[in-house]
Amino acid sequence: MMNRQGRPSTPGEASSGAVDTVLGHRGLDHEEALIFEQGQAGRSGVDLPEVPAVTSRLGNLARKGPIGLPGLSEPQVVRHYVRLSRRNYAIDMGLYPLGSCTMKHNPRLNEKLARLPGFADLHPLAPLSTTEGAVEVMGVLAHWLKVLTGMPAVALTPKAGAHGELCGIMAIRAAHVARGEGETRKRILVPESAHGTNPATAAYCGFTVDPVPATAEGRVDLAALKAKLGPDVAAIMLTNPNTCGLFERDIREIAEAVHGVGGYFYCDGANFNAIVGRVRPGDLGVDAMHINLHKTFSTPHGGGGPGAGPVVLSAALAPFAPLPWVVEKDGRFALVEDDKGQSFGRMAAFNGQMGMFSRALAYMMSHGADGLAQAASDAVLSANYIQARLSDVMTAAFDGPCMHEALFDDRFLKDTGVTTLDFAKAMIDEGYHPMTMYFPLVVHGAMLIEPTESESKESLDEFIAVMRRLAEAARAGEVDRFTGAPHYAPRRRLDETLAARKPVLRWTPPAPAQAAE
Ligand SMILES: *Cc1c(COP(=O)(O)O)cnc(C)c1O
């Protein structure tokens, strides 16, 4: 069955109590056609002067047909995009429990400072004489990152965590090449619980990925790791706290063992929010670590804006850092853009995500070192509160306290006919963006919940109440509530695999006969 807009209705729609509205709208949420379908030739929101007559010099490169922009009035366009924006869930709308993502509040102070014209209107090619203040901001940010991590150098340009991994592994590769071991060190050890970007980065840089198993308590199996060490090991990529939400207690021994065979220690720092201000990765033997400014340091995340993934480097890797970097002399700041030494090159055009640098530094300075440590403690407390309050109705994947995220498996759903996916969809009906599902892969039907420090106790309690009720409903056999979910979202169950594998990215106009109507 299709409704007016060709929106397929899903089985179970009636059982949700929803009526068939005249135009397919739901409450104040409008169902509407694509902007191209709404557009009409000749309609326009602006009144432009006639184009003067010119002799085209495009020759046969000239466009044959019209450009195909939809014609709409200004209010039509405004309404369309405002309606679309209301369908986009955001951290400003409610709790966003995605584990391993650190979706924390984006303080408005950051936004205010980043919008200062001296930062926001800067051109990357403007001469240093007019931009030294911005370079100083980069220098101060670099200083904070180095102090917080206990590392001597930082590359600011990588534009996301995954890009930072690429930067770190390229620095490691450059260091091995400089030692004449570029051809022999071909293996990178990656724990099974790692984020997919870790093995992807290693493979992209030409290394073989060798998985390291986890112990039954969710940490790296130290004995198995040691057994894999040898002269062909280039590095280990390890996340700490790991993606099971646990601190790797053996981390110093792991670092020593890897260094013992001449390898480097890449730490995936995506989970730095749990330890910032309390543990310095440099003290743990880390050689390179990316820091997701859009996670730990509160800059907007996902659809909210670009990321930034600066990489801190140990003394051994610092000489290979990518250009440019900031230097300070007698209180004056400058960028080193050219290097006669061992830098492996550049990660990006220009100098990195300036808008994220200013936001992250605003966050750091407004919190202060003590405030950052407090944020880490509160993030860990929030996660443990959730784990403790849900452990009688859901099944925690591992015993004992967690770090900044609480990890559950699907044992509590056994024989209920409800899967982790169904459970997540039912959360949408309850007003929550689902947690991270089926990751890490080492936990069956994983549900990874990271509340962060920015939720109040009241908001955590509401979330807990919903999760408790859903867990009880699953046990009580209320299966439709889950398998039919989401009942209240503008779209029901989508074929997400098909959408990912065969995305339809282009609107095709209807056949000419219809268009001529
Ligand atoms: C988010 C994340 C990454 C990748 O970071 P992006 O900024 O999304 O590229 C890598 N590892 C872990 C553990 C993460 O959570």
Pocket flag, ligand 1, residue 100 (CB < 6 Å):
yes
**Per-residue pLDDT at 371:** 98
**What residues form DSSP beta bridges with 311?**
155, 290
At 302 the pLDDT is 75
Q: Is 243 in the pocket of ligand 1 (CB under 6 A)?
A: yes
What pLDDT does residue 12 have? 42
* Res 433 pLDDT > 60: yes
Calculate Rg over the CA atoms of the chain: 26
Q: What is the pLDDT of residue 304?
A: 65
> By three-state DSSP, how is residue 138 classified?
helix
Query: 199-235 in b/e burial notation, b at 16+ Cβ within 10 A?
Result: bbbbeebebebbebebeeebbbbbeebeebbeebbbb
User: What pLDDT, in 10s, does the model give residues 295-316?
Assistant: 999 999 876 678 999 999 999 9
CB 292 within 8 A of CB 269: yes
For residue 161, the CA-to-ligand 1 centroid distance in Å is 5
Architecture of domain 374-501: Alpha-Beta Complex (3.90)
pLDDT at residue number 298: 97
> Which of the four pLDDT bands, split at 50, 70 and 90, describes residue 18?
low
102 CB within 6 A, ligand 1: no
- CA distances (Å), 198 to each of 44, 135, 244, 439, in order? 48, 31, 15, 14
> Does the beta carbon of 436 sit less than 6 angstroms from any atom of ligand 1?
no
Give, in order, the Cα–Cα distances in Å from 450 to each of 89, 174, 379, 447.
17, 36, 8, 10
- End-to-end CA gap in the chain: 26
Give, using CA atoms, the residue closest to atom 3 of ligand 1: 161
pLDDT score, position 17: 58
Q: What's the pLDDT score for residue 26?
A: 85
The strand pair at 208-212 and 187-191 is best described as parallel
Q: Is the pLDDT of residue 2 over 80?
A: no
The region of weakest confidence among 22-31, 101-110, 446-455 is 22-31
Taking the CA of residue 102 as reference, the ligand 1 atom at the shortest distance is 15
Out of 46-50, 196-200, 378-382, 471-475, pick the least confident: 46-50
In a mutational test of the pocket of ligand 1, which residue from 190, 198, 268, 293 has the highest number of ligand atoms less than 8 Å from its CB?
268
Cα dihedral angle (117, 118, 121, 122), rounded to 10 degrees?
Answer: 180
Q: Is 363 helix (H, G, I), strand (E, B) or coil?
A: helix
CB atoms within 10 A of CB 64: 5
Q: Is 161 in the pocket of ligand 1 (CB under 6 A)?
A: yes
- 32, 385, 389, 402, 452 from 376: Cα distances, Å: 43, 14, 20, 13, 8
How wide is the angle at C-alpha 475 spanned by C-alphas 474 and 477, nearest 5°?
A: 70
Nearest CA to ligand 1 atom 7: 161
Tell me, in angstroms, the distance from the centre of ligand 1 to residue 492's CA.
28
Distance 411 CA to ligand 1 centre (A): 27
Mean pLDDT of 203-224: 96
Where are the domains positioned within the chain? 109-366, 374-501
Residue 205 Cα to ligand 1 midpoint, Å, equals 18
Residue 153 — φ and ψ, nearest 5°? -145, 155
270 lines ligand 1 (CB under 6 A): yes
Q: Among 396, 400, 403, 399, which residue's Cα sits nearest to residue 381?
A: 403
Render pLDDT for 81-123 as a digit per residue (tens, 0 to 9). 999 988 888 899 999 999 999 999 999 999 999 999 999 999 9
State whether the beta carbon of 168 lies less than 6 angstroms from ligand 1: no
Q: Quick: pLDDT tens for 393-418.
A: 999 999 999 999 999 999 999 999 99
The mean per-residue pLDDT over the stretch 44-54 comes to: 89
Residue carrying structure tokens 């009720």: 469
Q: Which fold has domain 109-366?
A: Aspartate Aminotransferase; domain 2 (3.40.640)
Angstrom distance (rounded) from CA 119 to CA 194: 36
Entry field: residues in the chain: 517
Ligand 1 atom with the smallest distance to the CA of 165 is 10
Q: DSSP string covering 177-191, please?
A: HHTT-TTT--EEEEE
Ligand 1 centroid distance, CA of 101 (Å): 7
- Taking 50 as the threshold, does the pLDDT of residue 197 lie above it? yes
* CB of 273 sitting under 6 A from ligand 1: no
- Which pLDDT score, from 0 to 100, does residue 491 have? 87
- pLDDT above 60 (res 441): yes
How many angstroms separate the alpha carbon of residue 275 from the centre of ligand 1? 16
Distance from chain centroid for Cα 115: 23
The residue whose CA has the least distance to atom 4 of ligand 1 is: 161
Q: Is the CB of 160 under 6 A from ligand 1?
A: yes
Across the chain, mean pLDDT equals 93
Q: Where are the beta strands (DSSP E) in 371-433?
A: 395-396, 406-409
Pocket flag, ligand 1, residue 292 (CB < 6 Å): yes
Q: Is the CB of 158 under 6 A from ligand 1?
A: no
* Residue nearest atom 2 in ligand 1 by C-alpha distance: 270
For residue 286, what pLDDT is reported?
Answer: 98
Distance of CA 175 to the CA centre of its chain: 29
Q: Is the pLDDT reported for residue 263 higher than 80?
A: yes
Q: Which run of H or E residues covers position 208?
A: strand 208-212
77 to 23, 41, 441: CA distances (angstroms): 19, 15, 43
